A and B are shown apart, each in its own frame.
Chain A
């Protein structure tokens, strides 16, 4: 999508990006052999990098009439709330099964082997609300897609998905029901 490409370029030019990218640690062979795991915990140990990360998202989404930030368990819970607080939105946790205590709606999605489920509280989102989905990383896009589906089933309009890191070779961007994706760092 041309717009997303332009915006990807914009993100790359921002001088804060380099420090953010450098703060991410790659852990080989986790959770299993062959996977180079993008570890954002080292970003969180760098207050400046963490702040810059949040600021970049906040600058993008302030004034866009976004009333909902949905964060995907669990690392989406680290980036989502600061964004929600700064832009005046509510924060909605999207969780693994049986964690949310109230009535939920549930969306199944495909894993490499088998399936998993993402849940959202009934009533958290009202029809017509404009929503942002936040996670630390997009790989295949399966989890983000489940999140988009939950929000749309509740009548929200998903404006964009926002992640710190994209693994472009896994083509998650193509699996988001046409929703735009904004990321800060690509990892190949």
Chain B
């Protein structure tokens, strides 16, 4: 029973090609490098408040065919470090399943549950984050409910950081601070325990995927409200066409895989 994304149908593959569109090699794989070195980076400038305020709702994601066409068109835009891409990436990328029309028509859902069924791919994904962050003095890993819990927990354990769950409303039992953020229609709220994070904590935010960046922005705001330094946001998958990266302002974003 095929659980993996359809390897025989390159036209439905969400991943861009680095060069020729040979049907057998449809993998991604662009490893995003941050714009600055984490270890030596100067303090991040204070947030541009306008960029993190609740923004006007983003337009819905483009329909399926345009996504595929855009992917092909951008395939020659220069894939950073393609020749030096980490050899673990192809297996990670191909273990992700794409489910069309979930949760609603037109959305190509990036399903990481199939990655979790592939022990090597899951371990490799965690290892790649751990290698990046282990010597960066990160004291807090904030994982966004619920798929951020799956990746954030192992990373926190491996680097010796606290794990802080960032949750939907009314789940956390103690005193919380709360941040509202925009959805395509309406708003949602994210909560964090009071006292979990302290000023001077150096924080990493983890989620499985970044789309519009709204959820990550809410997490950044919560952490910064208590005085923490958000060092980076890290996701397994980015949907670059939704421009979430821009919404994070100056905060760096690291992803393993891009999906068109």
Task: Evaluate contact between B162 and A45: CB separation under 8 angstroms.
Answer: yes
**In the complex, how many angstroms separate the beta carbon of B110 from the nearest chain A beta carbon?**
9
Q: Which B residues are CB-close (under 8 A) to A79? A: 153
Task: Evaluate contact between B162 and A39: CB separation under 8 angstroms.
Answer: no
Kindly state the separation between the CA atoms of A33 and B117 in the bound complex, as whole angstroms.
Answer: 40
Task: Evaluate contact between B113 and A92: CB separation under 8 angstroms.
Answer: yes
Q: Which B residues are CB-close (under 8 A) to A85? A: 119, 122-123, 126, 154
Question: Which A70-106 residues have C-beta < 8 A from chain B?
Answer: 71, 73-75, 77-79, 81-82, 84-85, 88-93, 95, 98-102
Interface of B, secondary structure class, is mixed
Kindly state the separation between the CA atoms of A84 and B153 in the bound complex, as whole angstroms.
Answer: 12
Task: Evaluate contact between A93 and B116: CB separation under 8 angstroms.
Answer: yes
Q: Please pick, from B102, B145, B170, the residue contacting A74 in the complex, using a CB distance under 8 A.
A: B145
Chain A, residue nearest B3 (CB): A123
Number of chain A residues close to chain B: CB under 8 A: 41
Q: Which B residues are CB-close (under 8 A) to A44? A: 153, 156, 162-165
Task: Evaluate contact between B3 and A45: CB separation under 8 angstroms.
Answer: no
**In the complex, how many angstroms separate the beta carbon of B140 from the nearest chain A beta carbon?**
9
Q: Please pick, from A47, A92, A102, the residue contacting B157 in the complex, using a CB distance under 8 A.
A: A47
Q: Which A residues are CB-close (under 8 A) to B164? A: 41, 44-45
Interface of A, secondary structure class, is mixed
- What string of 1s and 0s marks CB contacts (under 8 Å) between A100-125 and chain B? 11100000000000000000011110
Chain A, residue nearest B158 (CB): A82
Known: A44-B164, A100-B113, A102-B111. A81 touches B154 (CB 8 A): yes
Which listed segment binds B: A24-32, A161-169, A178-186?
A24-32
Kindly state the separation between the CA atoms of A42 and B156 in the bound complex, as whole angstroms.
Answer: 14
Q: Which B residues are CB-close (under 8 A) to A30? A: 173-174
Tell whether B1 is near chain A: CB-to-CB under 8 Å.
Answer: yes
Q: Please pick, from B109, B116, B171, the residue contacting A81 in the complex, using a CB distance under 8 A.
A: B116
Tell whether B219 is near chain A: CB-to-CB under 8 Å.
Answer: no
Task: Evaluate contact between B102 and A101: CB separation under 8 angstroms.
Answer: yes
Q: Which B residues are CB-close (under 8 A) to A91? A: 116-117, 122, 150
Tell whether B149 is near chain A: CB-to-CB under 8 Å.
Answer: yes
Q: Which A residues are CB-close (under 8 A) to B170? A: 31
Task: Evaluate contact between B3 and A50: CB separation under 8 angstroms.
Answer: no
Tell whether B103 is near chain A: CB-to-CB under 8 Å.
Answer: yes
Task: Evaluate contact between A81 and B150: CB separation under 8 angstroms.
Answer: yes
Interface centre among B97, B165, B173 (most CB of A within 10 A): B173
Q: Please pick, from B99, B149, B161, the residue contacting A101 in the complex, using a CB distance under 8 A.
A: B99
Chain B, residue nearest A46 (CB): B162
| Contact sample, A vs B, 8 pairs, CB 8 Å cutoff | A27-B173, A44-B163, A47-B157, A47-B160, A47-B162, A101-B102, A102-B97, A124-B3
Q: Which residues of A contact B (CB under 8 A)?
A: 25, 27, 30-31, 37, 39, 41, 44-47, 50-51, 54, 71, 73-75, 77-79, 81-82, 84-85, 88-93, 95, 98-102, 121-124
